[in-house]
Structure 1
Amino acid sequence: MKLSRGTTAVAAVAGAAAFALVAAGCSASPGGENEDIELSITTFGTFGYDDLYKEYEKANPGIKIKATNIDTGGNARTDAFTKIAAGSGLSDIVAIEEGWLGSVMEVSDQFVDLNDFGAADIADRWVDWKLDQGTDADGRVIGYGTDIGPTGVCYNGTLLEAAGMPSDREGVATLLGGDDATWAKFYEVGNQYKAATGKAWYDQSGFVWNAIVNQMPEGYYTEDGELNIEDNAEMKAAFLELADAAAGGLSANQSQWDWGGGKAFVDGTFATFVCPGWMLGVVKEQVEKGGGDATSGWDFADVFPGGAGNWGGAFLSVATSSKHQEEAAALAAWLTAPEQQLKQFEAAGAFPSTTEAQEELATGGTPNEFFNDAPVGTILASRAEGVKAQFKGPKDSLIQENVFGPAIKSLDSGNSNGEQAWQEALTLLEELVK
């Protein structure tokens, strides 16, 4: 089934009963009079929802959306759990990031069971593993899936060409090993680039490490919920390999989510960047913030070291504290419908978690002008092949940010070698997690 990007806002919602109430756009006040309903929603990063909010309000007179967007997923996690601990303050709809979904599952009773609002009727929208991720141990669906995070390589073709390397997408994919791409090959090519230019290969090692861990069958936790770091030989070997790359100057030691106000994306500081679909919007935003535009040289290749991997993706959940649960559930269902996921992709690069939208992009994705007309939808559909959900434990994001984050920063700044940084991570793990 092909999905038209011109499909109206009314075309896809969760359940006729829920939508009928929302379409009316009003609720009974204590005095019996109708009044507008305000639905609050909190997202983070670059969701691409601004135009969708306007579209929904236009199609549903009487519904007003109060949107809050927090800069990063980590800060959004802090915001959500602070409000959960306080027992108040959650928005009607809360965007939940995959990395802290495990923590949310420990307090899943703070969010409504969307089965009560028609989730079963639309369950076949999503790839199976995305729906499973949003379901708690009691079978309650607490989150409608937004995007998933298949990952490719963003690169600056102008910089690669100046270094005497291929700059076309197929050439870059071949350069990095094609279907047999490995992290060792990625670092090898990075060393060649460093030798030719004297400049770094990638922005900072934290994102590279995150991508590596996400590719493992089991990450910071085993599938049965046990910590999986201290005696994990595969993980340590990958960490030491990354440490060697950083010691060789392949990392530009940039600050995550800053990059010098975006200037590092336009001044040649680094040439490659790990790009799950949602990060494409971040790259564009940073390039423009740094004074660049579509002529700055950034492109997107259908290749990734180590093969398929999923980094990120989110869910929309409805808080039990919401006074308008039915209306909020209908909005969450509409925002995550295939038609809207296609629009979200066009706005922010977030790759859909619904099968119909994925099929649309795989066969008819529009070239992305900013990324040198790369068929980013087709590329991400290719990168999504073989992606499997990795179990995320309750402190997964804490480990990524506060255990490995400081240790990897020590690598990039040259303050620690691989063994020292690994031990630093284990010490922080003992202090913060165990």
Structure 2
Amino acid sequence: MSLSRRTKAVAAVAGAAAIALLAAGCSAGDSSSSGGSGDKVELTVTTFGTMGYDDLYAQYEADHPNITIKPTNIDTGDNAKTDWQTKAAAGAGLPDVQAVEEGWLSAVMQVSDQFNDLSDYGADEIKDRWVDWKLAQATDKDGRLIGYGSDIGPEGLCYNRTAFEAAGLPTDREEVATLFGGEDATWDKYFEVGQQYKAATGKAFYDQSGFLWNAMVNQQPEGYYTKDGELNVDGNKDLQKLWTTLSAATESGLSANQTAWDWGKGKAFTDQTFATFVCPGWMLGVVKGQVTAAGGDATTGWDFANVFPGGAANWGGSFLTVPTQSKHPKEAAELAAFLTDAKSQAAAFGVAGTFPSVTAAQTDPAVTGTNELSTFFNDAPIGEILAQRADGVVAQYKGPDDSVIQSQVFGPAIQQIDSGKADGATAWDNALELLNQLVVNK
């Protein structure tokens, strides 16, 4: 579906709904209802990665003197899933507000009765906030809405201007988009440019193959699962063809063989270990954080182009849920509603690059204009770029073991081709063996 084409119309609906709620005095995030009698309430929140909520927590506490927020942030979505599963199995320890990543939402949906139906806390009055498919993702088979959508993950291409200049490649972001094929960009063209870069510099073109593989899978109408929830890996000729293309490029030396989520405290981003990086909106905050950690800044040369090999792709996107373990579900739901309203999503975007799933936020000046993140990326209009990259994005069904397949089935196979320990065909067969062990026959 096209997000950018329907933004103004839906924003108007959302705005009208907000006015109606204000008049009724019963908004899901209304400060007058938080905390009931004014008793002191501590709300625990578990997030992961870079979600841009710190300033929003402080704002909420200032506006709600009876509320104290105790946040916990886990480094990656996979580790957050493990944390959730461990505490859910123990029947204790889950926070009042639990962030859930798109890749393991299906696993959550299998036990959706362990989460509050947000319709009991005002969700029906604010449903018009979100793009339709984001709302549908968080609605279980019984029609219960268990999560408020935070961001979505349209992807563009991060590239290092300094590295491109050294290779004799264009550095202007519009010229870079054209270099990769513009609207007709393909993975074959991306790897072709990679070969030119390697020939000129002797260096790798991308950090590691796993993120590219993830993007390739997400671009398919159906990924590791069919729309009907059936496994869709073994015998999938489309995925196998993509794997062959990726492994051939990697075997030719285009991968820097970095460990996913570990770039030497950011050093690989500052010393031109690689020149390009796949970037959903939320990854922009990760890139900035890595560069800064290694002592770099905007002059390190990272930029953001309105192009992506293979076309529209969505990676990630999160939801804020309220587990039934919460002792303060009403207050937790109100906090989740606040963190995912238009103004909050626009503010989080300026910090972390988390592109809003709330339609009104997508045209907010805080998103489309200059902010801390856009300044870091050479004044790139990142909000405008992501809005265009979101055009054509649809929600791919993610099965219950989707994140397991990505990280534990194909993760080792990616490491094998990146390190040269196996060719593409052998690594694919090894992945299928792991699939049988970890998913099919678990």
Residue by residue over 1:408-434, the C-alpha shift from the partner in whole angstroms, topping out at 9 and shown as x without a partner, is: 110000001010000010000000000
Find the counterpart in structure 1 of residue 319 from structure 2.
315
Whether the 8 Å CA contact 1:358–1:381 is kept in 2: the answer is yes
Q: What is the correspondence of 1:265-344 to structure 2 with a 5 Å cutoff?
A: 265-344=269-348
Q: Given the alignment of the two structures, is residue 66 of structure 1 paired with residue 70 of structure 2, yes or no? A: yes
Find the counterpart in structure 2 of residue 23 from structure 1.
32
One-letter code of the match for 2:276?
Answer: T
Q: Given the alignment of the two structures, is residue 408 of structure 1 paired with residue 414 of structure 2, yes or no? A: yes
Residue by residue over 1:108-161, the C-alpha shift from the partner in whole angstroms, topping out at 9 and shown as x without a partner, is: 111000111111111111000000001111110000000000000000011101
Residue by residue over 1:237-277, the C-alpha shift from the partner in whole angstroms, topping out at 9 and shown as x without a partner, is: 00011000110110000011111111000001000000000
Q: Given the alignment of the two structures, is residue 227 of structure 1 paired with residue 227 of structure 2, yes or no? A: no
Whether the 8 Å CA contact 1:362–1:378 is kept in 2: the answer is no
SS state at 1:152 partner: strand
Quote the Cα distance in structure 1 between the aligned partners of 2:236 and 2:194.
Answer: 27
Find the counterpart in structure 2 of residue 54 from structure 1.
58
Relative distance call for 1:208 and 1:20 in structure 2 (3 A) is closer
SS state at 1:316 partner: strand
One-letter code of the match for 2:54?
Answer: D
Q: What is the correspondence of 1:17-416 to structure 2 with a 5 Å cutoff?
A: 17=26, 22-23=31-32, 26-27=35-36, 35-360=39-364, 364-366=368-370, 368-416=374-422
SS state at 1:315 partner: strand
Q: What is the alpha-carbon root mean square deviation over aligned residues?
A: 2.0
Quote the Cα distance in structure 1 between the aligned partners of 2:124 and 2:58.
Answer: 27
One-letter code of the match for 1:319?
Answer: P
One-letter code of the match for 2:59?
Answer: E
Find the counterpart in structure 2 of residue 6 from structure 1.
none
One-letter code of the match for 1:414?
Answer: G
TM-score (norm 2): 0.92
Quote the Cα distance in structure 2 between the aligned partners of 1:112 and 1:25.
Answer: 17
Quote the Cα distance in structure 1 between the aligned partners of 2:392 and 2:34.
Answer: 42
Relative distance call for 1:13 and 1:254 in structure 2 (3 A) is farther
Quote the Cα distance in structure 2 between the aligned partners of 1:84 and 1:100.
Answer: 14
Quote the Cα distance in structure 1 between the aligned partners of 2:259 and 2:134.
Answer: 31
Counting aligned pairs with the same residue, the percent is 62
SS state at 2:257 partner: coil
One-letter code of the match for 1:401?
Answer: S
One-letter code of the match for 1:329?
Answer: A
TM-score (norm 1): 0.94
Relative distance call for 1:373 and 1:103 in structure 2 (3 A) is same
Deviation at 1:17, TM superposition (A): 3.7
Whether the 8 Å CA contact 1:112–1:318 is kept in 2: the answer is yes
How many pairs were matched up?
A: 423
Quote the Cα distance in structure 2 between the aligned partners of 1:303 and 1:422.
Answer: 28
Quote the Cα distance in structure 2 between the aligned partners of 1:26 and 1:240.
Answer: 56
Find the counterpart in structure 1 of residue 14 from structure 2.
none
One-letter code of the match for 1:146?
Answer: S
Quote the Cα distance in structure 1 between the aligned partners of 2:169 and 2:307.
Answer: 16
Residue by residue over 1:150-205, the C-alpha shift from the partner in whole angstroms, topping out at 9 and shown as x without a partner, is: 00000001110111000010010000010000001000000000000000000000
Deviation at 1:321, TM superposition (A): 1.1
SS state at 1:369 partner: helix
Whether the 8 Å CA contact 1:362–1:382 is kept in 2: the answer is no
Relative distance call for 1:18 and 1:121 in structure 2 (3 A) is closer
Quote the Cα distance in structure 2 between the aligned partners of 1:258 and 1:429.
Answer: 25
One-letter code of the match for 1:422?
Answer: W
SS state at 1:67 partner: strand
Find the counterpart in structure 2 of residue 422 from structure 1.
428
Quote the Cα distance in structure 1 between the aligned partners of 2:304 and 2:230.
Answer: 36
Find the counterpart in structure 2 of residue 31 from structure 1.
none
